[in-house]
Structure 1
């Protein structure tokens, strides 16, 4: 019969065996998705003589669907890991509670065998209370593990919307792929560099997604140790049941999908955009934050004009608001001489001296661009006069500004020049050319 003290210790909620079985089911389904991905690839070879545009389009469609199966399978495997972690917490908690209950039963035995049971119960009450307190703490920790598991499951399964072009046809751009162990290890190094303020911010290379405004804003923040630490604070590693990092929990300070709500929705990132941003040609923190930015939008990598708004196109001022939680200042030029007046120029130069993040965009002016949306301008690159092409409707990180002009960096990682060559990403423009082409200057807060 259970004694008085033993009866005060409650059970741990949850069934570890059932949870372990559920985790196995998720893992099995993940493997099934991987098998379906292989079957899709095999289907391409069922008609070896089929050729032409229809075959090519079918193959592209198969490739998109294969990636989606692989990503869904990876989501299921990660979900299995999250459930396994919870199952382990329940099992360990149950064992811990049984041990406390055993200790309580020994106190009950002392009471039962004592000449005066009431005195013995009073004597052991303090020890029993400590056991009950330990049990309560452990049970609460298991409940917390349940909440964490539920949150993980809500975040983990992510189906990226297919990106469509202006004609409504699907494209390859929005495809995602799970992070490899090497990519996670490199991202961890990047995060450490951000925390230490030693991150190489200039290594950014934009992919095929039209989110230059967001990438340029990230690079602007990453120019200072303070900004690097802010970026690092948005990214927390997530661990599987073996204690290995399997992705990242990313929380941007503001939520673009629900601007009235703060803080933003936390998303789980364990995939990158295949055609997205890189750091020095590899996956890194820029890739992680871009993927999180996409997950915060119902349209993923699609245009913000899509029925479900995505991350392609946008304004740097909004990016700064999301990443810092503070409103940005926007200065405008119509492209005419002196349209950035003396006060506005001084404002930009002062912000540069204060190391405030700034982004300039080639919009809202009457500047002339060629049929490919580019304009050839005179700049200075590495101290040498160099003609480069500026892209219309594109955002550039402002590196510095003084009385002589503005130095900018292209998130593409380079700038096109004449003859099909490429120049370094960073260049300097005169104030006259700056105001001619850059009709929008966004100044963020430190």
Structure 2
């Protein structure tokens, strides 16, 4: 086998991996980014294209208990479980349900909010070197629109939680929603504007533009990691094509595939696959000016470049191996058509694998098996949002200057 020595190898070319590599490069490290496909080709490609600095409410919360029958048995729900995978999902689901208490949800919301406060400061130094990436950002905020009084009343606890955590939000009546987005006229009873949020006109283009300094350095290597092995003189990365890389340090940012690689070091992390979907329409015009979420349906409608509209969201717990579920595509398509009265055909549909841990909080910090391996995964719906601050924290970890509170995000919390 061909062994190549490197200072730091970052495994994963999504938003998290790119940001980690860029922050480490800023600190003067020699970095290789290892990715089997084109950059941002997985979850960083197909998400809702939103920097959601407000999204501190974990999916694991007490409301799951009352909605459990619908979640388990209805396919007409924004959260579904593939029955065929239930036996293998059960250990993870039990851990997840254990997080659905008032106290645990509060703690996890606080941990998410602590990261979300640095959404923009984590990106800003990286954007200085990537003007083409900055040009793809639109600062129009993000809108939650509730279609029923019951939904709006049920949101009051989340509104209060965000307020207590210092997240900027503006509560609107139906007229306020319609003034911002005329396409929503007559479709909502009220909602919330998050004025500090922004969205990306081209998510994959943004990440690829952000990675321009890495490309210029020749620091991007095509390959798929298959196994990690601890050696006295470093960490070996065995790739599927038979090559071996050696590194002083490894950053594991492979998204939904991260737990399998961590397991090759003997570390068991309860990471499962939360399958997300999107549909796109080529409208040739903008029906919306900002990401708008009809909350009861649990997806975002985001205006993209060239008159495209992307509707992305919902949750399906299943396997990396399962094919696309057409029912999930229909669920989104039918509701978007109903909300916005769209006649255009679907131009594109997509399935992506979100890396999700039971408490909905990312895993950031050194491996318990080998501290030279640093985890940076499990961001669930917040990979694009938290990429910058995650990269900053990983770089601080390598410098030996990680804040003490980062221990709360270590995989040791699952022991």
TM range (shorter): under 0.3
Greater Rg over alpha carbons, structure: 1
TM-score, length-scaled by structure 2: 0.20
Relative to its length, the structure with more helix (as a share) is: 1
TM-score, length-scaled by structure 1: 0.19
Relative to its length, the structure with more strand (as a share) is: 2
Query: Which gives a bigger RCO, structure 1 or 2 (Cα 8 Å, sep 6+)?
Result: 2
